[in-house]
Amino acid sequence: MSDTKQLAKTTRTHRKLHRIFGTWLLIFFLLMAATGFLLGWKKHSGGLILPKTERGVSSNLEDWLSYDSLNRLAREALVAHFNDNRSAALDRIDARPDKGIVKFVFKHHFTEIQLDATTGRVLAVNQRTSDIIEQIHDGSILDFLFSTSDGQIKLAYTSIVGIGLSTLSITGFFLWFNPRRIRKHKESGDWNA
């Protein structure tokens, strides 16, 4: 088989792989593109995606209350703000020394409570839409909904999408490059039909 015929056969194989992966993963790619776009704009959304970080009275850490005291105040604010039995299990504590605040983000729901780190006053109670979008983006929203133990769904999702995107990139390159090589063979007289 001539080089040109082999290139044409390889190109057909690449086209088939490209079509299969593109078709099966289209929804995932569109979802990742849309959520990636939103995450890119989160700090410029006017508080719609990422809640605005408030300001406390002091950025001097020596003036701050202990994390234990702030945690107790955040739990009290959670109970006072919501009439349901929301879990007070913490996911993380986000301290912002330059702004004098501490954010308490909860594990089993997308709520954040911002406290003045010096006075303990509740500055804001927000829904963290950015966390929801991020979990949709990386597939971990399914781990959250099904309470998986170790992020197995996220791992499978990101592996499938990563392999799919790599395959589309490689096959797409050869769908662009191989016809140029075939044309070059034809023009140079190396075409062996």
Per-domain boundaries in the chain: 1-49+129-193, 51-127
Residue with the bigger pLDDT between 16 and 8: it is: 16
Q: What is the pLDDT of residue 193?
A: 47
Q: Give pLDDT tens digits for 107-137.
A: 999 999 999 999 999 999 999 999 999 999 9
CA-based radius of gyration for the chain: 26
Q: Give pLDDT tens digits for 29-67.
A: 999 999 999 999 999 999 999 999 999 999 999 999 999
Amino acid at 88: A
Q: Say how far apart CA 32 and CA 184 lie, in whole Å.
A: 38
Do the Cβ atoms of 51 and 112 come closer than 8 Å?
Answer: yes
Residues 6+ apart with CB under 8 A from 134: 35, 39, 140
Give the pairing type, strands 101-106 and 90-96: antiparallel
